[in-house]
Structure 1
Amino acid sequence: MTPTIKAEERPTRPKGELRRLRDQGKVPGNLYGGKASGSTPIAVEEKELLALLRHHPNAVLDLEMAGSDTRPVMVAGVQRDPLTRNVLHIDLREIDLKTPVRTHAPLEPAGESPAEKEGGIVQMLLHELEIECLPADIPDAIPVDVSGLKLGDSLVVRDLKVPPGVLVKTDPSLVVVTVLAPQKDDAEPAEPEANAAETDRSGAEEKTAARS
């Protein structure tokens, strides 16, 4: 089932109006694409938007607006406060379901590396891929199978299996995941050094006593 987002048109007014919208728990934004040229100023409920960004950040959404038919859209841009990370502005773009789109798909580790039983550490270095496909073919996530990786092994982008119809745009040579060997504790006991220092002090004291 396609997730739904509700929006309302908003008047283009000074910044005070945007502040009023945010005080009401709404996020200002713009809708691009479709038959209209330019953009349409909109506002969406913050709680609804945050839930969609958390669970469906790259999905096709059904946009519902008063006075118009439901239309397919995708999130085109999110502006956040650099300190609080609150969403300040959202851009939505109307799409054609028959035309391929560029978006990102998250990477999720799958399976268990046998190296983990030896203390190895599976480290993900890449967390999403840029892809191109029809909107209906956008995957929720792309699995990264680590079950065959041993200590020191790695997987690069070209090693991943993607669903049919999905074209990967990310550099195929980028490392996605690697298995690190367990770190050894190279620290030397401090006691011998202390004993050596003690011996040096004793020797110095004996020489001093001999001179006196």
Structure 2
Amino acid sequence: MSTFELSADIRKVFGRKTKQLRAKGVVPGNIFGKKIKSLAIEINKPGLIDVMRQAGETGLIHLKIKGDDKTHPVLVAGYAQNPVSGEMLHVDFHEVDLTQKTTAMVPVKAVGESPAIAQGNLLVMLKNEIEVEALPTDLPDVIEVDVTNLTEVGSHILAKDLKVDRSKVTLSVEDEEQIVTIQEPAKEEVIAPPEPAEGEGAPTTEGDKPAEGEEAKPAEGEAKPESKKDEPKAEK
């Protein structure tokens, strides 16, 4: 696994006053763990974001606090961002014991090219991340899934096929659980026009209309309407 280094200072500003820190490009945070009391810290934002982008949830960070001779081995436990601007508001670190196993969510990444994709089918990731248990120094950065042997619809890769060191890493999924599979693209449903209800006639088309000056022909079984010229004249 990858390891990273990060520097921090003890934080003496709390509550609403932390806005002053953020205005200066500093992010407030905390460290917690079984063998440490919660420790308030502050970190330079550019350096923090750069390390977090690379470390993710499984990268071990050696956190050095100014004035403290001890280096803290930590994992990113969580963070808060402004929902509108995306500004980093707060970060929490979990200090780990390098001799004790811990759990973390590891991203799953497809690698290689599947022949089935070239045929117009879809590669479906059924698991985008998997929880694993391992020593902090053995946590994988990513679990890669080679899809080059997925050649047809229905082809899949199971959890037991994943290439991880099982002597060091335990996966939280069943061996027979599918991780990735090939599926056909969804077909567009063709909706047929509704049929006329019983007793309703077919709609009149332009060709069914009588020509100008002609009378409409009565429907079969109907009497022909009497012409006005056949009406008897009233006697005077």
**Cα distance between partner residues in 1 of 2:188 and 2:8:** 57
What is the Cα deviation at residue 146 of structure 1?
A: 1.4
Q: Identify which range, 172-181 or 3-12, moves more after superposition.
A: 172-181
Q: Identify which range, 78-87 or 46-55, moves more after superposition.
A: 78-87
Amino acid at match of 1:210: K
TM-score, normalised relative to structure 2: 0.74
Q: Identify which range, 53-62 or 176-185, moves more after superposition.
A: 176-185
What is the Cα deviation at residue 203 of structure 1?
A: 5.4
Residues 48 and 171 from structure 1, CA distance in 2 versus in 1: closer, same or farther, beyond 3 angstroms? Answer: farther
What is the Cα deviation at residue 104 of structure 1?
A: 1.6
Q: Which residue of 2 aligns with 1:196?
A: none
**Cα distance between partner residues in 1 of 2:34 and 2:13:** 20
Q: Which residue of 2 aligns with 1:14?
A: 15
**Cα distance between partner residues in 2 of 1:26 and 1:87:** 9
SS at match of 1:89: strand
SS at match of 1:3: strand
Residues 84 and 61 from structure 1, CA distance in 2 versus in 1: closer, same or farther, beyond 3 angstroms? Answer: same
Q: Once the two structures are superposed, what CA deviation does each residue of 1:95-129 show, in whole Å capped at 9, x if it has no partner?
A: 11111111121111022212112111112232111
Q: Which residue of 2 aligns with 1:41?
A: 40
Q: Which residue of 2 aligns with 1:50?
A: 49
Q: Which residue of 1 aligns with 2:184?
A: 181
Q: Once the two structures are superposed, what CA deviation does each residue of 1:123-170 show, in whole Å capped at 9, x if it has no partner?
A: 223211110001121112111121222212233434423224110124
**Cα distance between partner residues in 2 of 1:34 and 1:45:** 26
What is the Cα deviation at residue 23 of structure 1?
A: 0.6
Does the 8 Å CA contact 2:3/2:55 hold for their aligned counterparts? no
TM-score, normalised relative to structure 1: 0.82
Residues 1:26 and 2:30 aligned together: no
Residues 75 and 185 from structure 1, CA distance in 2 versus in 1: closer, same or farther, beyond 3 angstroms? Answer: closer
Q: Which residue of 2 aligns with 1:153?
A: 155
Does the 8 Å CA contact 1:139/1:163 hold for their aligned counterparts? no
Give structure 1 stretches of 5+ with no counterpart.
191-198
**Cα distance between partner residues in 2 of 1:65 and 1:72:** 11
Q: Which residue of 2 aligns with 1:167?
A: 170
The CA RMSD over aligned residues, in Å, is 2.9
Does the 8 Å CA contact 1:122/1:179 hold for their aligned counterparts? yes
Does the 8 Å CA contact 1:5/1:62 hold for their aligned counterparts? yes
**Cα distance between partner residues in 2 of 1:120 and 1:53:** 35
What is the Cα deviation at residue 54 of structure 1?
A: 1.5
Residues 1:59 and 2:66 aligned together: no
Give structure 2 stretches of 5+ with no counterpart.
194-202, 219-224, 226-236
**Cα distance between partner residues in 2 of 1:123 and 1:88:** 34
Kindly tell me the number of residue pairs found equivalent between the two proteins. Answer: 203
Residues 201 and 126 from structure 1, CA distance in 2 versus in 1: closer, same or farther, beyond 3 angstroms? Answer: same
What is the Cα deviation at residue 176 of structure 1?
A: 2.3
Q: Identify which range, 103-112 or 74-83, moves more after superposition.
A: 74-83
Q: Identity percentage over the alignment?
A: 32
Residues 1:209 and 2:216 aligned together: yes
What is the Cα deviation at residue 45 of structure 1?
A: 1.4
Residues 122 and 134 from structure 1, CA distance in 2 versus in 1: closer, same or farther, beyond 3 angstroms? Answer: same
Q: Once the two structures are superposed, what CA deviation does each residue of 1:38-94 show, in whole Å capped at 9, x if it has no partner?
A: 301001111112112221112110111112222211111212233333321111122
Q: Which has the larger radius of gyration?
A: 2
Q: Which residue of 2 aligns with 1:116?
A: 117
